[in-house]
A and B are shown apart, each in its own frame.
Chain A
Amino acid sequence: AQKITQTQPGMFVQEKEAVTLDCTYDTSDQSYGLFWYKQPSSGEMIFLIYQGSYDEQNATEGRYSLNFQKARKSANLVISASQLGDSAMYFCAMRDDDYKLSFGAGTTVTVRA
């Protein structure tokens, strides 16, 4: 069964605007971690932000913030003030009790000048 669902295969955003990438997850574990990674066209996987299941506050890292809604099992990534260098594929991932990461299918973001 799909643990992580990213429903947006691709998105366009204007430079300097904000964009929200959707992620929903499925788990019966009480303790889990949610992650977002960025994969630019060069191919490396870059860690962006982490949210723990027990964290009451939404995580923020610079221009990245995670909108964590536990009851809805969603962990959307918000990128504010988009830059051309934000054009990439973005993956949502979850670590559950067996310590492996399950990834979503990814969302490709293209920032337009």
Chain B
Amino acid sequence: DTAVSQTPKYLVTQMGNDKSIKCEQNLGHDTMYWYKQDSKKFLKIMFSYNNKELIINETVPNRFSPKSPDKAHLNLHINSLELGDSAVYFCASSQVGTGQQETQYFGPGTRLLVL
């Protein structure tokens, strides 16, 4: 009964490769997000989709491309991986609104290491 799940949990790859991370939520939420946590534990929003529509697109290299096939899924594809892409990537979901319902629930994270 996992709420927000991500695959894979760990990803080790060579520089220049292309990789994808998948995220699924079963909370019935209408909004999903990708965050990046760097080596200093700083968390920063990358993208957000609401009902399959991109609503937040932060200053992220265009090697990163999100895709939302439906409102329960949000995938992240990364082209031409670089050493600096090594980080933990978190998926999250929420229901847009007011009050506590806007709480974002996070997946377990995907630890990406680029060699």
State whether these chains interact: yes
Give the docked Cα–Cα distance between A43 and B35 (Å). 14
Chain A: how many interface residues by the 8 Å CB criterion? 24
* B109 with A100: CB separation less than 8 A: no
* A101 with B106: CB separation less than 8 A: no
When C-beta atoms are compared, the residue in chain B nearest to A95 turns out to be B102
Option from B41, B104, B109 in Cβ contact (under 8 Å) with A101: B104
Which B residues touch A44, using CB under 8 A?
106, 108-109
The answer to the question of A7 belonging to the interface, with a C-beta cut-off of 8 Å to chain B, is no
Count A-B pairs with CB separation below 8 Å. 60
Option from B33, B40, B103 in Cβ contact (under 8 Å) with A100: B33
Kindly provide the distance from the CB of A9 to the nearest chain B CB, expressed in whole angstroms. Answer: 10
The answer to the question of B98 belonging to the interface, with a C-beta cut-off of 8 Å to chain A, is yes
The answer to the question of B56 belonging to the interface, with a C-beta cut-off of 8 Å to chain A, is yes
Give the docked Cα–Cα distance between A8 and B105 (Å). 25
Chain B: how many interface residues by the 8 Å CB criterion? 28
Instruction: State which residues 87-107 of B face A: CB under 8 Å.
Output: 88, 90, 92, 96, 98-100, 102-106
Interface string of B35-58 (1 = CB under 8 A from A): 100001111110010000001101
Kindly provide the distance from the CB of B113 to the nearest chain A CB, expressed in whole angstroms. Answer: 14
Instruction: State which residues 7-57 of B face A: CB under 8 Å.
Output: 31, 33, 35, 40-45, 48, 55-56
Which A residues touch B106, using CB under 8 A?
37, 44-47
Give the docked Cα–Cα distance between A44 and B88 (Å). 10
When C-beta atoms are compared, the residue in chain B nearest to A47 turns out to be B103
* A98 with B44: CB separation less than 8 A: no
The answer to the question of A25 belonging to the interface, with a C-beta cut-off of 8 Å to chain B, is no
* A98 with B42: CB separation less than 8 A: no
Instruction: State which residues 88-113 of A face B: CB under 8 Å.
Output: 89, 91, 93, 95, 98-103, 105-106
CB-CB nearest 5 A-B residue pairs: A45-B106, A103-B43, A100-B45, A50-B100, A44-B108
